[in-house]
Amino acid sequence: MSRHAELDPPRIGGIILAAGQANRFGSQKLLALLGGRPLVQHVIDAANASSLEDIVLVVGADDLVAHLDPGRTRTVRNPDPVRGLASSLQLGLSVLDDHLHAALVLLGDMPDVTTALIDELVARGRETRASAVVSSWRGRRSPPAVLHRSLWPAAFALSGDVGMREILAGRDDVAVVDVTPALGSLADVDVPSDLDDRGTVRGAH
């Protein structure tokens, strides 16, 4: 890599993990309507409007895609999603553009993540060149998070229903973005009661 390339802003793509089994929800929660759109569509739309470069949506079932508008997001199917979150993360990383320096990992059941938050995480990743940039919501670190390519081998060593928390535990070269209401929230959807009658996520504000 040339010296000039080392000084260029890191190129960051995105992965949306949407292959979970949603056992607690009782049905395909990612298609549950929220404001007239499927839950995961909110995440897709926020990513598509952001400064992310290549974006990959990892699904576990083909019928999910038929109900979505991917826009510029590419879709790949995890053929064995019961292997857990790690397998979907690994699949997403493996198909991203080879020229990317880092990947922002998003969860499909966090519909209040905004384009503004995604762009803030990307900007922090470019400014700090940290190994990772994580979101912090009410004092708790959480996805979405940027994972530098130097840490991808650790992701490929994971197995089961685990993700970046296992990779980042104990690391001191991690930047943090505090999520304010202006940036959305990190409230997720696990059960139907997490969606109220007004089509918003409980605890989001």
Give burial (CB, 10 Å; 0-12/13-18/19+) of 4: exposed
Look up the CATH number of the domain holding residue 52.
3.90.550.10
What per-residue confidence (pLDDT) applies to 198?
40
- 166 close to 160: Cβ distance less than 8 angstroms: no
pLDDT tens column, 66-89:
899 999 999 999 998 888 899 999
What per-residue confidence (pLDDT) applies to 192?
66
Lowest average pLDDT, out of 15-29, 41-55, 62-76, 102-116, goes to: 15-29
- For residue 30, give its domain range: 3-184
Mean pLDDT of 15-27: 73
Amino acid at site 150: S
Amino acid at site 160: G
Q: Of 60, 200, 43, 193, which is closest to residue 110 (Cα–Cα)?
A: 43
pTM, two decimals, is: 0.88
Distance, C-alpha 149 to centroid of its chain: 15
Residue 199 domain-assigned?
A: no
Q: How far apart are CA 114 and CA 116, in angstroms?
A: 5
Q: Which residue has the tokens 């605890």?
A: 203
Residue 193 domain-assigned?
A: no
Residue 194 domain-assigned?
A: no
Residue 121 domain-assigned?
A: yes
Residue 205 domain-assigned?
A: no
Residue 90 domain-assigned?
A: yes
Domains: count for the chain = 1
What per-residue confidence (pLDDT) applies to 8?
73
pLDDT tens column, 132-180:
999 998 888 889 999 999 999 999 999 888 788 888 887 888 999 999 9
Residue 195 domain-assigned?
A: no
Q: What angle do the packed helices 115-128 and 39-48 form, to 10 degrees? A: 50
Residue 138 domain-assigned?
A: yes
